[in-house]
Structure 1
Amino acid sequence: MAQEQTLTGTHALVTGGGTGIGLAIAQALAAQGAQVTITGRRQSVLDEVAGDRMFGAAMDVRDESSVCDVIAAAVAARGPVQICVPNAGVAEGRSLHKTDMAFWRDMMATNLDGAFLTIRECLSGMRQTDWGRVIAVSSIAGLRGLPGAAAYAASKHGLIGLVRSLSEDYMSQPYTFNALCPGYVDTPIVDRNQTAIAARTGMSAEAARQVMVEANRHKRLLEVEEVAAAALWLVGPGSQSINGQSIQISGGQTV
């Protein structure tokens, strides 16, 4: 790949690309010239942000046939996926004694199975090219335990294990595999968690939000653009030796 900061002629795919972190990454990649396929469960949400090199395609990462069909169609339309960003995920806390099998399976199916399927299908075409980047969006919860969210933390730990193993599998080839591990980011997920924390603890909404603010080392919520900037670094010139890493974006050391 040319050593200037341009992604013209490159096809990127971002799951969960209609909102939050995924949307910010997709927009950043498109601004650098990439053709970006954004996926999510609701076509209407994708349609609202599509355009200017961004193409929405409804896809359920929990459904293998959906992932296979949508990625195959995207490849047919825009060429092999050379930047794969498995970002789609759910973030919900629940005590272990209140965690039933349905909750556990949905968490794993979305956060871990979905990433596995997305990477597998994108790699099929990526391996026929001379350059590729896989950037999984994990979490600080993928690096340390998170109280009251064992299922979520386990899914994000698993995602990091997947990325690290793939980096070893393709070590001698021109593809890298890394995970972004943000702390609490100012997205609709934080808004939903704020409501859930308040309901569970009896806190005010403001106090519940402050719990998440205080969990970040610099005592503020992250902006989605900060995570997108890290993704751009990983696809930019000079990134070829960044491989198998879990990059913390949390305002300070956390593990």
Structure 2
Amino acid sequence: MVVSSSPDQSQEARLEHHRHPAGKRALVTGGGRGIGRVIARDLTRAGVHVTILGRTAQSLSDAVAAGDACAFAVADVTDATALEAAVRTAEAAGPIDILVNNAGHAETGPAKRLERGLFDRMIAVNLTAAFEAIRLVLPGMLARGRGRIITIASTAGLTGYPYVAAYCAAKHGVVGLTRALAKEVATSGVTINAVCPGFTETDLVAGSIETIVAKTGRTPDAALADLTRSMPIGRLIRPEEVAHAVLWLASDEAAAVTGLALPIAGGEIA
């Protein structure tokens, strides 16, 4: 299902420091909240027609009503049939020029209790779903000779963290997929990149803090300090900082940038 709405005039102001020609269309998965919604908002304000995709119609509808996107599609990215139906419906209104694979999820557990089910879930939502979305839009981009594919990976795709081995494996897979495909289509006019945020102010990190508090008895402030200790910047990353990187990679100025796994991590990956 895809539902459209016209954004408020106040949301149509262009971000002049990036060139996004009128008529470009983007699909942002996991676009109803967190980083995905901020990415959708900034692309919309840059003049791009943005469709957001996710599992919860209410949050998607709220984002469209607020002018942060132009349309929404309801689908679980781990359901290949539903994902394809949503993408094809979105494409019926016009070809997708920009794909942002943002949907993702992390589950924790010690190595000695790592279960196959958890591992499979992490691969499915963080890696396979990104592959499926790329598989659906890439042929059209190649045929038109232009396109931008940006996957939100993680610093967990560039290094290891304890208790999230399956998540790290999936995000490393995303980075490898990005680099391989980028080289394969480098002369096509299609760029393929990954953005790798560190700990970011999102529901995901809030959940991690709650888990630390529940398991260790530490205060929320102490748990937050644990997460930021490895970050030279001394604070969490803001969703807007991730969105700015995506906006640049999606722009005409980044036509020569492909195969990049860009850390937005306050110096953690240096």
For normalisation by structure 1, the TM-score amounts to: 0.95
Counterpart of 2:6 in structure 1 is none
How far the C-alpha of 1:4 sits from its partner, in A, is 6.5
Residue 55 to residue 178, structure 1, CA distance change in 2 (3 Å): same
- List per-residue Cα deviations over 1:45-99 (Å, max 9, x = no partner): 101111445211111111110111000000002x111101111000222112222
Identity of aligned residues (%): 38
Report matched runs for 1:121-132 at 5 Å: 121-132=136-147
**Equivalent position to 1:225, from 234, 240, 262:** 240
In structure 2, C-alpha distance between the alignment counterparts of 1:126 and 1:5, rounded to whole Å: 19
How far the C-alpha of 1:150 sits from its partner, in A, is 0.4
**Equivalent position to 2:186, from 154, 171, 185:** 171
Q: CA RMSD in A?
A: 1.5
- Secondary structure in structure 2 of the residue aligned to 1:8: coil
Letter in 2 for 1:25: I
Does the CA-based 8 Å contact 1:184-1:215 persist in structure 2? no
- Secondary structure in structure 1 of the residue aligned to 2:31: coil
Which stretch shows the higher mean deviation, 213-222 or 33-42? Answer: 213-222
Which stretch shows the higher mean deviation, 44-53 or 8-17? Answer: 44-53
Counterpart of 1:183 in structure 2 is 198
**Equivalent position to 1:25, from 39, 44, 51:** 39
Letter in 1 for 2:90: A
Counterpart of 2:153 in structure 1 is 138
In structure 2, C-alpha distance between the alignment counterparts of 1:15 and 1:70, rounded to whole Å: 11
- Secondary structure in structure 2 of the residue aligned to 1:135: strand
Counterpart of 2:176 in structure 1 is 161
Counterpart of 1:48 in structure 2 is 62
Unaligned runs of at least 5 residues, structure 2: 1-16
Counterpart of 1:246 in structure 2 is 261
In structure 1, C-alpha distance between the alignment counterparts of 2:42 and 2:144, rounded to whole Å: 22
Counterpart of 2:24 in structure 1 is 10
**Equivalent position to 2:125, from 102, 107, 110:** 110
Q: Which runs of 4+ in 1 moved over 4 A?
A: none
Does the CA-based 8 Å contact 1:92-1:193 persist in structure 2? no
In structure 1, C-alpha distance between the alignment counterparts of 2:70 and 2:224, rounded to whole Å: 32
Counterpart of 1:86 in structure 2 is 101
Letter in 2 for 1:15: T
In structure 2, C-alpha distance between the alignment counterparts of 1:92 and 1:211, rounded to whole Å: 18
In structure 2, C-alpha distance between the alignment counterparts of 1:7 and 1:14, rounded to whole Å: 18
In structure 1, C-alpha distance between the alignment counterparts of 2:139 and 2:75, rounded to whole Å: 18
How far the C-alpha of 1:112 sits from its partner, in A, is 0.5
In structure 2, C-alpha distance between the alignment counterparts of 1:124 and 1:173, rounded to whole Å: 11
Letter in 1 for 2:33: T
Counterpart of 1:34 in structure 2 is 48
How far the C-alpha of 1:124 sits from its partner, in A, is 2.9
- Secondary structure in structure 1 of the residue aligned to 2:262: strand
In structure 2, C-alpha distance between the alignment counterparts of 1:28 and 1:150, rounded to whole Å: 32
In structure 1, C-alpha distance between the alignment counterparts of 2:95 and 2:146, rounded to whole Å: 11
- State how many pairs are aligned: 252
1:71 correspondence with 2:83: no
Residue 111 to residue 232, structure 1, CA distance change in 2 (3 Å): same
For normalisation by structure 2, the TM-score amounts to: 0.89
In structure 2, C-alpha distance between the alignment counterparts of 1:208 and 1:76, rounded to whole Å: 46
How far the C-alpha of 1:238 sits from its partner, in A, is 2.3
- Secondary structure in structure 1 of the residue aligned to 2:86: helix
